[in-house]
Amino acid sequence: MTNANDTQRIWLTGATSGIGRALAERLLEQGHRVALSARSESAMAELCEGHDNALPLPLDVADRQAVEWAGERLAEAFGGLDLAILNAGTCEYLDARDFEVELVERVFAPNFFGAVYCIEAALPLLRRAREEGGHPLLAATSSAAAYLPLPRAEAYGASKAALSHFMESLRLDLAGEGIGVSLIHPGFVKTPLTDRNDFDMPMRISTDAAAEAILTGLARRRLDIHFPRRFTLLVRLMGILPPGLRHRLGLRMTRQDSPVEARR
């Protein structure tokens, strides 16, 4: 994203809720041609209503064939992509006393593999934009949880850490092609997903504030867009502490529920 005032061809996943919804509304208002993806067709239709510059592409990012179809549809409609924002994701917390592999798989499916499937679909279109003389950008929403292991976040944190590592490695390999890669590491944002959390969320911000931080970071082509910065800088600092100290701090955040209470 070179300038917020430039008309761009954009693909945004996870577009109908939370941060994605706030991003979609802003991008459409700015006049960009925006392909919007989410699972709910009715929510997609409501979001696109009245916007001739919106292209609804309802899909589940964890369905590779559906993502391939979306890539074909994008190629037909846009020709290329100037910006892809891979924002779709989910969160579930693991109870180690009742270990559930299926939960881990459910979280990794959209958070990591869904992003990889979308990258596979988006890269040819980003390369086409580069051939046209553009400066395409690939962005993905990770989490501040990728910076620091947290209690019950085995699945969520690992999926986001995997995504961050993947994107940083990909950034190195795409640099020679002139395709930028930005990572987004939000702290707590007030969304339907975080509304389900049963713990304190310090410095939680609105989706509008998150969207503003993301779009500003993308316009400046920042490698790491993290916010709110007071919170994310603290989490990053904790993540580089010596293992023993990091462990002791983590134990202080561990819930002390009884096994029976934890299963309710």
Provide the CATH topology of domain 9-262: Rossmann fold (3.40.50)
**CB-CB contact of 139 with 220 (8 Å):** no
What's the confidence (pLDDT) of residue 6? 80
Residue 156 annotated among the catalytic residues of the structure: yes
Q: What whole-number distance in Å separates Cα of residue 99 and Cα of residue 193?
A: 22
What's the confidence (pLDDT) of residue 194? 82
Task: State whether the Cα torsion 142-37-80-216 is positive or negative.
Answer: negative
**Among residues 93, 117, 147, 156, which one is catalytic?**
156
Q: Name 37's Cβ contacts closer than 8 Å, sequence gap at least 6.
A: 11, 12, 13, 14, 15, 44, 57, 58, 59, 61, 70, 88
47-94: pLDDT as tens digits: 999 999 999 999 999 999 999 999 999 999 999 999 999 999 999 999
Q: What whole-number distance in Å separates Cα of residue 12 and Cα of residue 89?
A: 12
Residue range 200-212: average pLDDT? 90
114-156: pLDDT as tens digits: 999 999 999 999 999 999 999 999 999 999 999 999 999 999 9
Six token digits for residue 85? 């924002």
Q: What is the pTM of this model?
A: 0.91
